[in-house]
A and B are shown apart, each in its own frame.
Chain A
Amino acid sequence: MRATFVVLALPGLALLLSAPATAPARTDHGCKPLAPLAVEVTPRGTGAGPIVTLDVAVRPVLAMQAVAWRWELSPGVVLLDGQVEQAAAAGRGEVTEATVELAVPTDGRFASATLVVAGVFHGQDEQGAATDERVEVRRTTSWGAAPLAAPLVPAIDGETGAQVEVVAVPAAQRAGR
């Protein structure tokens, strides 16, 4: 018989990883490979709320058949000016620019505005067979830190013996004998 439950009762005080006070906007700076769409989202100034202006530039690295973007706004973020969805130039190297104005929370809550840019290009395999390849780039601008849906709990460090905090991963258990 399988008994599954999420551990809620943990020793010590459970804390949520929560956002600090509202900070300037944080934008992607990752270095993983991206789809062949060069996307820049640049906050004006520090990008701190309550009103934030974001400049957008989209440039296909490969010739695309179509390029379009949309904004995904977290709760608490309101579009004041600009378009939620927009088509962009599909030619290789052609730059499409836009600006949006957002109202964002200033109470420390996590909030985000993600620009999702999608394009389709003629792909090819090694035999030369053509495929229509859809690619997507997501650029997130966020305020505060995203809360983890997991509590912090005290624990003894196995290496040093010191009191530390750990993130308690949600768990299920199938009972043994």
Chain B
Amino acid sequence: MRRAAAALLVLAASVAAQTLVTGRVEYVDKAWDYNGWTGSDPVLPVRRADVHVINGITGTILASGSTADDGSFALTADLSLVLSLQVRVDADTDLNGAFQRVRVTTEANVEYSLFSPLLPVLLPPPALDVGTLTALPILSGSDEGNAFNLLDMGVRVAEYVASPLIGAAPSTQTLRLYWPEGGGSYTSGNGAYIGADDGYDDAVILHELGHVIHNLYSESDNPGGSHTFGDSDQEPTLSFGEGYATFFGGAVQEWMGLEALYMDASGSAQTGSDQLRARLETVTPYAGDAYGAADELAVACTLFDLLDGEASVDATPGTDDDLMLASTVVDGHSPQKAWWDVFVGPVNSASNLTMNHAWDGWLALYAADPHFAELQDVFEDRRLWFWADVQEPDNDLASAVLLPAVTGATWTLDRTLYWSADDPPAPGTGDEDWYSVPLVKGDVVDFATRYPGAAADADTQCDTWIDVYDPQGVLVVGTDEGGTGRNAKVEDFAITKTGAWACRVRTVNSVRRYGRYDVRVHYTEQNHPPVIVAGPTATPDAINTQQTAQLDVIATDEDAGQTLSYAWTPLDGGSILGSGASVTFQPPGVAASSVLHVQLVVSDSLGAEAPPAEVQVTVSPAGGPCVNAASVVAGGSGKAGLLGVPTLGAQNLPLLPSSDFALHASGCLPLQPCTLVVGFTLLSLNYDLGHLYPSPDVLIGLITSATGEVLLPVTLPGDPLLCGLTIYTQLFVPGDPGALGAKKTAQTGYLALTFGS
């Protein structure tokens, strides 16, 4: 009978077995703000988590579902034949409909679960409230964490991505969080590995989840490795990857109605204990340092400025510090959605992804409605100058911009490598900045670039290359080395030509395509060209062909120790007698009165030249039958006698006609017979250990005077047949006991006499 009653009881229970099991799940959070842990431990709902009603004896699952936004759950379970039950809440969103799956496990892939106490079930009630379950912190060593805080961060991220702001579909991959990771926080693929001491560091968790979102929805080229705030000289691929992750965490906080912060505090402390922090809107405390696309915080804050607004929770309530407002509509989209589409579009397909692609991608995707001024304002704040500088276009030698060399510390500032002729102006790849540099032969200069404002920490991703061209446009040298960091420097370059040299600044780095730089050409040694302060002048400035003019100039050089050279060049014939600042101009023959030009170039010891100068001389015919001028030119070498080497010269020019022309020899043995050889050809034969220069066409016997001289006056007729005729003459004095050779001849050099007017 008793057995039958028990059977009836079981039967009755099975008939009325459906029980609504309800309850609520929450977790103990650890509140933080810009100053670290606040000391408050608020309790927050566990949302979207898998909930199971479990047979307390067998462990079988009786019902499953998910927690709601307030952490509550309500599951209908068949509790017939169940003597006790337990509720288990997994750190997993697998059962939450079409929502993104988020899962929290240990590094060894063991999932975290929260268990209720065992609840006895004597008779299945229609409803059973198991109360409120609270997940308490777990210690890893001395560091606190909470799997359900990690789950909540993952859920927040997934909700943000799925929100109307973005509207992205869930990833087919599970968004994984692992804790505690003994080697510090990092990300691999779809897994965010959270360091033991970061279990409650929401900003760190969101940063790592930002990497996961980057991996799942776009593509990262982040090389990874240790990195720090305050470093503006990172690999641009790293600064973008890390900057994006920090930005993403800030975007989620913004969406949650919180101030966008990065804050990392000690996992074992209860209050304060911040190790690293930053405000993404004001860049505090790195506002004076975080500049350029090679700075991860500058990247994060720039991306954040794209989508924050006046209503953002920050230090400037009601206003935004950039022109891209929350109300801005970009091609029909909010800035949030506009950026996301760039992120999953052009950024996704980029190789060696940097901020360059964020800029290019935005302008490519929204070419019809780019909001360029707003975009430029956002990028300007952290000095990501992805636009042309004020001197563009200067993209070839013809459009080179004047860049005078300097002796002091002056640099030409704020140049950018960026140029596009398109509208909107992107991409700006391949810019060349050309500079024209007037230099003087003998100068020694440095061609150099530097980081903007001589920043020790780069403040730019720019990697410059310098080419130097001579005044003829020939490439002389090119380098991307020699300067500080990634800057280029052509050092102690000796200038070999005076003129407009050219300097081209560009980059050959395909990753660091854009950026800022300063440039200068600096004198190591400056050489000044000579300056003509007076002249050149001709005295007299009007002569006939039988006269000469004296040419004079006065030039100076401010460089100490320089010796000046004077190159006089008759441009219209004639010749220059002498050298230096004062010379004699001997005119050519002229048929009619003519203005003849003589050019003067004054140069210094290093070859630097003053601009060429000219002097004019008016030359008139002298009245003779010839067009050509008469001339006397001495040549050859003599042979010594007892009194040395005798000399032969001319008194006056062999003008036709003239009566004052004479040949005159001196230094001969006195009262000695001698022979004047006259010929029409210059032979230069060896003779008596000396030379016979003229062909011996006419031999004239003479006697030297008591003073050892010979004077032979010659009257020249006005016969035009003689015009231009050149004859050669040389004097021989045989029998000189001081002379060598069998015939003991003392010999003069020769004279070439050209007859003219």
In-complex Cβ contact of B90 among A32, A124, A158, A161 (8 A):
A158
Tell me whether B472 is interfacial, beta carbon within 8 Å. no
Residues in A with CB closer than 8 Å to B185 are 30-32
Indicate with 1 or 0, residue by residue over A140-162, a CB within 8 angstroms of chain B CB atoms.
10100111111011111011010
Residues in A with CB closer than 8 Å to B136 are 6, 169-172
> Contact: B110 with A176, CB < 8 Å?
no
The smallest C-beta distance from B535 to any residue of chain A, in angstroms, reads: 60
> Contact: A171 with B133, CB < 8 Å?
yes
Query: Do A125 and B59 form a contact, CB below 8 Å, given A29-B183, A33-B242?
Result: no
Residues in B with CB closer than 8 Å to A10 are 115
Within 8 A of A (CB), among B246-264: 246, 262, 264
> Contact: B182 with A35, CB < 8 Å?
no
Q: How many residues of B contact A (CB 8 A)?
A: 92
> Contact: A174 with B59, CB < 8 Å?
no
Query: Do A31 and B242 form a contact, CB below 8 Å, given A125-B284, A158-B94, A172-B134?
Result: yes
In-complex Cβ contact of A74 among B22, B139, B141 (8 A):
B141
Tell me whether B184 is interfacial, beta carbon within 8 Å. yes
In-complex Cβ contact of B183 among A17, A28, A131, A147 (8 A):
A28
Residues in B with CB closer than 8 Å to A125 are 279, 282-285, 287, 315
Tell me whether B60 is interfacial, beta carbon within 8 Å. yes
CA distance A29 to B229 in the complex (A): 17
> Contact: A169 with B132, CB < 8 Å?
no
Q: Of all chain B residues, which has the CB nearest A64? A: B230
CA distance A148 to B136 in the complex (A): 13
In-complex Cβ contact of B230 among A17, A62, A110, A131 (8 A):
A62
> Contact: A138 with B116, CB < 8 Å?
no
Tell me whether A133 is interfacial, beta carbon within 8 Å. yes
CA distance A6 to B134 in the complex (A): 10
Query: Do A158 and B52 form a contact, CB below 8 Å, given A32-B207, A171-B136, A173-B116?
Result: yes
> Contact: B286 with A169, CB < 8 Å?
no
In-complex Cβ contact of A123 among B108, B184, B231, B284 (8 A):
B284
Query: Do A171 and B141 form a contact, CB below 8 Å, given A30-B186, A31-B226, A126-B284?
Result: no
> Contact: B115 with A7, CB < 8 Å?
yes
> Contact: A126 with B283, CB < 8 Å?
yes
> Contact: A124 with B286, CB < 8 Å?
yes
Query: Do A166 and B111 form a contact, CB below 8 Å, given A17-B106, A136-B276, A159-B94?
Result: yes
Within 8 A of A (CB), among B85-113: 86, 88, 90-92, 94-95, 106, 108, 110-113
CA distance A41 to B700 in the complex (A): 108
> Contact: B226 with A176, CB < 8 Å?
no
Indicate with 1 or 0, residue by residue over A11-35, a CB within 8 angstroms of chain B CB atoms.
1100001000000001111111111
The smallest C-beta distance from A67 to any residue of chain B, in angstroms, reads: 13
The smallest C-beta distance from B514 to any residue of chain A, in angstroms, reads: 24
Indicate with 1 or 0, residue by residue over A21-57, a CB within 8 angstroms of chain B CB atoms.
0000011111111111110000000000000000000
CA distance A155 to B95 in the complex (A): 17
Residues in A with CB closer than 8 Å to B110 are 17, 152, 164-167
> Contact: A173 with B132, CB < 8 Å?
yes
CA distance A119 to B161 in the complex (A): 37
> Contact: A32 with B195, CB < 8 Å?
yes
Q: Of all chain A residues, which has the CB nearest B273? A: A136
The smallest C-beta distance from A80 to any residue of chain B, in angstroms, reads: 22
Tell me whether B635 is interfacial, beta carbon within 8 Å. no
Q: Is the interface of B mostly helix, strand, loop or mixed?
A: mixed
Residues in A with CB closer than 8 Å to B88 are 155, 166
In-complex Cβ contact of A171 among B59, B114, B204, B246 (8 A):
B114
Indicate with 1 or 0, residue by residue over B228-247, a CB within 8 angstroms of chain A CB atoms.
11110000000000100010
Residues in B with CB closer than 8 Å to A62 are 230, 289, 457
Within 8 A of A (CB), among B185-212: 185-187, 195-198, 204, 207-208, 211
Q: Of all chain B residues, which has the CB nearest A31? A: B186
Residues in B with CB closer than 8 Å to A127 are 282
Q: Of all chain B residues, which has the CB nearest A142? A: B182
Residues in B with CB closer than 8 Å to A166 are 88, 90, 110-113
> Contact: B285 with A126, CB < 8 Å?
no
Residues in B with CB closer than 8 Å to A34 are 226-229, 276
> Contact: B180 with A11, CB < 8 Å?
no
> Contact: A170 with B138, CB < 8 Å?
yes
Query: Do A158 and B266 form a contact, CB below 8 Å, given A10-B115, A124-B289?
Result: no
Tell me whether B368 is interfacial, beta carbon within 8 Å. no
Tell me whether B224 is interfacial, beta carbon within 8 Å. yes
> Contact: A33 with B207, CB < 8 Å?
yes
> Contact: B180 with A146, CB < 8 Å?
yes
CA distance A17 to B109 in the complex (A): 12
The smallest C-beta distance from B530 to any residue of chain A, in angstroms, reads: 48
> Contact: B112 with A135, CB < 8 Å?
no
Residues in B with CB closer than 8 Å to A26 are 182-183
Q: Of all chain A residues, which has the CB nearest B222? A: A31
Tell me whether B147 is interfacial, beta carbon within 8 Å. yes
Indicate with 1 or 0, residue by residue over B260-295, a CB within 8 angstroms of chain A CB atoms.
001010100000001110010011111111000000
CA distance A6 to B548 in the complex (A): 123
Q: Of all chain B residues, which has the CB nearest A2? A: B132
The smallest C-beta distance from A88 to any residue of chain B, in angstroms, reads: 15
> Contact: A31 with B227, CB < 8 Å?
yes
> Contact: A148 with B131, CB < 8 Å?
no
In-complex Cβ contact of A158 among B64, B138, B140 (8 A):
B64
Residues in B with CB closer than 8 Å to A171 are 114-116, 133-136
Residues in A with CB closer than 8 Å to B59 are 11-12, 154-156
CA distance A38 to B182 in the complex (A): 20
In-complex Cβ contact of B287 among A31, A126, A155, A172 (8 A):
A126
CA distance A36 to B92 in the complex (A): 36
Tell me whether B386 is interfacial, beta carbon within 8 Å. no
Residues in A with CB closer than 8 Å to B60 are 156
Tell me whether B130 is interfacial, beta carbon within 8 Å. yes
In-complex Cβ contact of A124 among B86, B116, B131, B288 (8 A):
B288
> Contact: A148 with B106, CB < 8 Å?
yes
CA distance A170 to B148 in the complex (A): 11
Q: Of all chain A residues, which has the CB nearest B300? A: A33
Within 8 A of B (CB), among A83-138: 92, 110, 112, 121, 123-128, 131, 133, 135-138
Residues in B with CB closer than 8 Å to A155 are 59, 88, 113
Residues in B with CB closer than 8 Å to A177 are 129
Residues in A with CB closer than 8 Å to B64 are 158
The smallest C-beta distance from B669 to any residue of chain A, in angstroms, reads: 90
CA distance A167 to B150 in the complex (A): 14
Tell me whether B9 is interfacial, beta carbon within 8 Å. no
CA distance A155 to B86 in the complex (A): 11
Tell me whether A168 is interfacial, beta carbon within 8 Å. yes
> Contact: B23 with A176, CB < 8 Å?
yes
Tell me whether B467 is interfacial, beta carbon within 8 Å. no
Tell me whether A68 is interfacial, beta carbon within 8 Å. no
> Contact: A136 with B275, CB < 8 Å?
yes
Tell me whether B118 is interfacial, beta carbon within 8 Å. yes
Residues in B with CB closer than 8 Å to A142 are 182
Tell me whether B78 is interfacial, beta carbon within 8 Å. no
CA distance A33 to B184 in the complex (A): 11
Tell me whether B42 is interfacial, beta carbon within 8 Å. no
Query: Do A173 and B131 form a contact, CB below 8 Å, given A32-B204, A158-B50?
Result: yes
Q: Give the interface centre of A5, A138, A164, A173 by most chain B CB atoms within 10 Å.
A: A173
Query: Do A169 and B23 form a contact, CB below 8 Å, given A31-B225, A138-B275?
Result: no
CA distance A12 to B183 in the complex (A): 31
In-complex Cβ contact of A126 among B130, B187, B321 (8 A):
B321
Which 3 residue pairs are nearest across A and B when measured between Cβ atoms? A30-B184, A123-B285, A176-B129
* Interchain Cβ contacts under 8 Å between A and B, 5 examples: A35-B275, A92-B456, A121-B230, A126-B282, A170-B135
User: Apart from A30-B184, A32-B186, A146-B141, what are 4 other A-B pairs with CB-CB below 8 Å?
Assistant: A26-B183, A166-B113, A167-B111, A175-B131
**Which positions in A face B, CB cutoff 8 Å?**
4-7, 9-12, 17, 26-38, 61-62, 74, 92, 110, 112, 121, 123-128, 131, 133, 135-138, 140, 142, 145-150, 152-156, 158-159, 161, 164-177
